[in-house]
Amino acid sequence: MIPLTAHRSLLTLLVLILPVTGRVWAQGESLTRAFDLERRGSFAQAADLYRSVLATKPGEVSALLGLERSLVPLNRLPEILPQVRAALAANPTGAPIYGVALRAYSAANQLDSLESAVEQWAKVAPGDETPFREWGAAALARHDRSTARKAYAMGREKLGRPDALAAEVAQLAVLDEDWSGAAREWARATKAMQGYRPSAISSLSDAPRKAHDDILKQLDKENSAEATRLSVALRARWGDPLGAFNSLMENLPESSAQAIEALQQFLT
């Protein structure tokens, strides 16, 4: 037989656990219902449910993101700011919360608060490009290239890396029709991550004919295998396959595997 004291301890534990378990279950049920409403396009009702979850659990990231998704199509994103502030107070190191904060402050035209949120995010995520990338993206969504440039420049300064955010800076240079700058930045981006190569080729190949020579000269200055591959691809696209092939053969990597890969990329 279980001693009476053990029964009492078990009952006490159940009394403590059951209300908590019930709240967790209710929150999960509310999130499921909110997501279903959102999926069906009932954004206002979904937003109300997401708010109800955040009222009892302000640091719930999935609810905050759901509220953001529901408010955007209603063109009411600034309404999320009270929930954002409460979420940051409850979870000051939650990176997704800062992302929502940046977008909400931008939508509300509270640019000082936005920059402050970026600085705080950078403190809790040292070495991460994301705060500055999100800041730049929010600025570009407002067609504010000047602030985007400021965001990327600050990111490079804080991170201490001249190639940080190279893909974002390259895309901004394209918008500014600074084709030499775009070539330089795309070469940096592909050197850091080869996965950027298709985007770099696609972006630079759209340059006007008068900019072609400047782009190729800039890529030659970069003096890297990645820049050479970009140059080869662009020459081929711009109607100089022989020049592209000669450049490729002159700069084939010493590694057989890399040389074969370069030739395969040229043929495709």
Distance of CA 114 to the CA centre of its chain: 16
One domain for residues 65 and 159: yes
Query: For residue 16, is it within any domain?
Result: no
Percent of the chain past pLDDT 90, that is, above it, reads 72
Find the domain containing 137 and state its range: 54-76+84-164
Lowest mean pLDDT among 59-73, 179-193, 222-236: 222-236
One domain for residues 143 and 189: no
Confidence of residue 69 (pLDDT cuts 50, 70, 90): very high
One domain for residues 136 and 209: no
User: What's the whole-number average pLDDT of the chain?
Assistant: 86
Confidence of residue 261 (pLDDT cuts 50, 70, 90): low
The pTM of this model reads 0.80
> Which tens digit of pLDDT belongs to each residue from 133-164?
999 999 999 999 999 999 999 999 999 999 99
Q: How many domains does the chain have?
A: 2
Confidence of residue 212 (pLDDT cuts 50, 70, 90): very high
Query: For residue 44, is it within any domain?
Result: no
Query: For residue 34, is it within any domain?
Result: no
One domain for residues 152 and 70: yes
Supply the pLDDT for residue 237.
Answer: 86
Last residue of a domain, one of 164, 196, 212: 164
Mean pLDDT confidence for 26-53: 91
Supply the pLDDT for residue 18.
Answer: 39
Supply the pLDDT for residue 29.
Answer: 86
> Which tens digit of pLDDT belongs to each residue from 102-135?
999 999 999 999 999 999 999 999 999 999 999 9
Q: Taking the alpha carbons of 72, 74, 76, 79 in that order, is the dihedral positive or negative?
A: negative
| Nearest C-alpha neighbor of 268 from the set 233, 229, 216 | 233
